[in-house]
Structure 1
Amino acid sequence: MRLNVVAMGEGPPVVLLHGLLGAAQNFGAIQKAIAARGHRVLALDLRNHGQSPHADGMGYATMAEDVAETLVAEGAWPAAVIGHSMGGKVAMALALAKPAGVERLLVADIAPVTYPTPVFTRYVAAMQAIPLRDGLTRRDADAALAEAVPEAPLRAFLLQNLIFTESPPRWRIGLAAIAAGMGEIGGWPAMPGRYGGPVLVLSGDASAYVKPEHHAAIRALFPAARFASMAAGHWLHAENPRAFLAAVEEFLSVA
């Protein structure tokens, strides 16, 4: 599947892969900053997200194949790949399946492990329960999510996927396919091979997604992995963009 691409800048390619229920646009300021430092930066909408096509299946091998097909078509192969959360798992799957296409890999706040039922399962169910009727306003939709999603900024993040300019409003994302694939998204498939290139696993110091006990599983697949943390929760690039960008710049500059 060819994915939607937002590209800017010139130079060695850098690829940005967003997390669950996000989109390429979430990297806006980060993408501009990396591009300004001499890189061609491609932010992708993963399948069922943003403006990319909708299709059944949210397995990481499938999503990694989407990314590979898109990057080859864009002439951005090989590339440095940066992925956050679900996008980090896609990036890891891509590096394992097609190591020649990944020059280096930055994984933001996720590990190649199966997580307990993700809290996002509750969010997706709440999104599906919003009655998409004529006259539905953003305030109405926000109120419908409030019990399941108490944090107002997170509700705003989720509602960026709802198109209110149409009557009735509709989801931009493939919400049904995402809901059906939540088990795959929270899991991690058994994948053969190892990736020996440079890998940075960057975690938020207030996040519990990458735990010390995950390090062995990471190094089993990525023997050159190194670990770093920064002042942030799970959404590193949104919560502390300056520190995230500094880590990215350093990682990209290391020979």
Structure 2
Amino acid sequence: MKLHFKKSGKGKPFLILHGLFGSADNWLGIAKNLEESYTLYLIDLRNHGDSPHSEEWNYEVMAEDLRELMDAEGLESVYLLGHSMGGKAAMKLALMYPERVEKLIVADIAPRPYPVHHQHILEALNAVDLNKTNSRKDAEAQLAEFIDEKGIRQFLLKNLTRKDGKFAWKNNLPVITQQIKNVGEAIDSEKPFENPVLFMGGANSDYIQEKDKADIERIFPENHLVYIKNAGHWLHAEQPDAVVATLRAFLDA
């Protein structure tokens, strides 16, 4: 699958992957602070953003999509960062094609399986009647019946676009709804990834826990685990300066 991406900067190629319900734009602020040192590829994963939709949606095909993009761009090896769902896709690519990933950064996710916990968001998105939606304000009002947090509503509304004169979701909502369990699947391998890996968690998040360290050590033995202070799961939005500084320290080492 030919993924949509935004390319900027100069230097070593650095691929960045968003999380569930996100898109390449989620990392624009971070990318602007790295363009002088790296060639940034902000990527829309399949069924998200402006990338194609597919009935097939799991971490193996996501990894193959990324390999295809690297081949098309002539990238032998890259720095690779993924957040949440994107972090699992990044781990999968590194384990499938270790020679293609020089350094790996995983943002606020561990390799273990996670229970499905996005039902309320899916319920909200599926409840929006796009045929009766005449503005983003209309869509937000419908989301507000399910989601109190304005920030989450604004994040989800970034997926709203116009198609053939009507509002539509950019992401493949039917497939994501049907296959949401795939997002929580574990990433594992009998053969570890031997290159350097940074696990970057939010200090206020519970996505990377003490119990996860054993799996991290087993699968990614050359790992560094750093927690970003005063940040939750959306660490790149909450503490961008600290995230950029942490990335630079790891990549420049």
TM range (shorter): over 0.9
Q: CA deviation at 1:137?
A: 2.0
Asked if 2 retains the 8 angstrom alpha-carbon contact of 1:91 and 1:107, the reply is yes
Q: Which residue of 2 aligns with 1:98?
A: 97
Q: Which residue of 1 aligns with 2:59?
A: 60
Structure 2 counterpart SS, 1:34: coil
Q: Deviations over 1:101-155 (max 9, x none)?
A: 000001000001111222x232022101111115532122112112332110110
Asked if 2 retains the 8 angstrom alpha-carbon contact of 1:133 and 1:167, the reply is no
Q: List gaps (5 residues or longer) in structure 2.
A: none
In structure 2, what is the Cα distance between the partners aligned to 1:235 and 1:166? 33
TM-score (normalizing by structure 1) = 0.95
Structure 2 residue corresponding to 1:223, chosen from 221, 233, 237: 221
Amino acid in the other structure paired with 1:93: K
Structure 2 counterpart SS, 1:103: strand
Instruction: Give me the CA root mean square deviation.
Output: 1.4
Aligned residues, how many? 252
Q: CA deviation at 1:160?
A: 0.8
Moved over 4 A (4+): none
TM-score (normalizing by structure 2) = 0.95
Moved more, 128-137 or 48-57: 128-137
Q: Cα 1:205–1:135, aligned 2, differ >3 Å: closer, same or farther?
A: closer
Q: CA deviation at 1:56?
A: 1.3
Q: CA deviation at 1:168?
A: 2.6
Q: CA deviation at 1:167?
A: 3.4
In structure 1, what is the Cα distance between the partners aligned to 2:50 and 2:162? 16
Structure 1 counterpart SS, 2:147: coil
Structure 2 counterpart SS, 1:43: strand
| 1:239 equivalenced with 2:238 (yes/no) | yes
Q: Identity across aligned pairs (percent)?
A: 40
In structure 2, what is the Cα distance between the partners aligned to 1:165 and 1:60? 28
Q: List gaps (5 residues or longer) in structure 1.
A: none
Q: Cα 1:133–1:159, aligned 2, differ >3 Å: closer, same or farther?
A: same
In structure 2, what is the Cα distance between the partners aligned to 1:179 and 1:154? 18
Q: Which residue of 2 aligns with 1:34?
A: 34
Moved more, 152-161 or 164-173: 164-173
Asked if 2 retains the 8 angstrom alpha-carbon contact of 1:10 and 1:39, the reply is yes
Asked if 2 retains the 8 angstrom alpha-carbon contact of 1:219 and 1:225, the reply is yes
